[in-house]
Amino acid sequence: MGRGWYEPWVRFPASVPLPAEGGLPTSKQRGPMASTWWSKRFTSALESYGLGARMQRGRRYARSGQVLSLEVSPGVIAAQVQGSRRTPYLVTVSAAQPTADQWRKVEQAMAAKVGFAARLLGGEVPEELEEVFVSAGVPLFPSAWKDLRSSCTCPDWENPCKHIAAVLYVFADRLDEDPWLVLAFRGRGREELMAALTGLDKAQGARAEVAPWWPFVPGPLPVLPAPGLLQATAAPDRPDAVLDAMEPLDVSIGPANFVELLRPLYEVMTGGSEETGEP
């Protein structure tokens, strides 16, 4: 009686993938899989996981174009990979996204750095970006395989399988061409991030235009009657009587109303107080 398929000492030949039409072969057919510092950082993180032969088989799949499609959305990479079966396998790789508070810290740190957004728009990832994420309490790149959650519809029980590895290498290859993908995977698309940075820049600019000692928010100043009109209409015994006829001003400095703070000034403007008898 022959051995069953489940017996561990039975060795089966390695499966051969079917030819893939219209796949996404990597731009690097030999040597390192990445050329920019950020994609190198991603691939070095992958290869530091100690996954050995599975990553090597994944590189071959990536270079031969077995990955048919790849989509990146906040926290998720989804792809189709042509394996040895007629129906392509579905692969997903996901990671926990930064919290709203962590993203707020990241955006504030990016807005504070001169030229940061311009370099991103120019297709370059500043090396300080990794430090910005770390200071916010979240890594830009996954530091361990346990930081990622991955699945594949293939029958291989190993995780990652070669199909998952191939998808990650194609993603790294795409990072060289589009560095915004690394931020999209962490939860911020290009438009959303630039809108946040633009809003922070405008807010910082508005605050810079107002002197720190000025007690009012930016806007038109209240219109007061001319000093000559105040002297002409004020009663002799009450220099500040004109203030009672003014439209109410909803302006305060600390606990005091602005109009009440003006009353002592009118005594000086109209010739001094009766108590001192000064001219």
Q: Which is more confident, 106 or 277?
A: 106
Per-residue pLDDT, 165: 92
* pLDDT tens per residue, range 45-72: 777 776 677 788 888 999 999 999 999 9
- Tell me the whole-structure pTM to 2 decimals: 0.65
CA distances from 71 to 33, 66, 91, 92, 194 (A): 19, 15, 11, 10, 21
CA distances from 83 to 14, 58, 162, 175, 260 (A): 12, 11, 10, 24, 82
Q: Supply angle C-alpha 90, 94, 98, rounded to 5.
A: 160
Q: Out of 21-30, 62-71, 187-196, 234-243, which region has the weakest mean confidence (pLDDT)?
A: 234-243
The proportion of the chain whose per-residue pLDDT surpasses 70, expressed as a percent, equals 65
Is the pLDDT score of 272 beyond 60? Answer: no
Per-residue pLDDT, 79: 96
**Domain ranges within the chain, ordered by starting residue:** 37-197, 227-269
Instruction: Work out the average pLDDT over 205-229.
Output: 47
- The strand pairing partners of 79, in sequence order, are 70, 91
CA distances from 65 to 20, 34, 116, 178, 209 (A): 7, 16, 35, 19, 55
Q: Which is more confident, 275 or 80?
A: 80
Spell out the alpha helix ranges (H) of 141-189.
162-177, 180-185
* pLDDT tens per residue, range 1-60: 444 445 554 554 567 888 888 888 888 788 777 788 888 888 887 777 766 777 888 889
Per-residue pLDDT, 232: 45
Per-residue pLDDT, 192: 83
**3 in Cβ contact with 12 (< 8 Å):** no
Return the closest-CA partner of residue 120 out of 38, 32, 202.
38
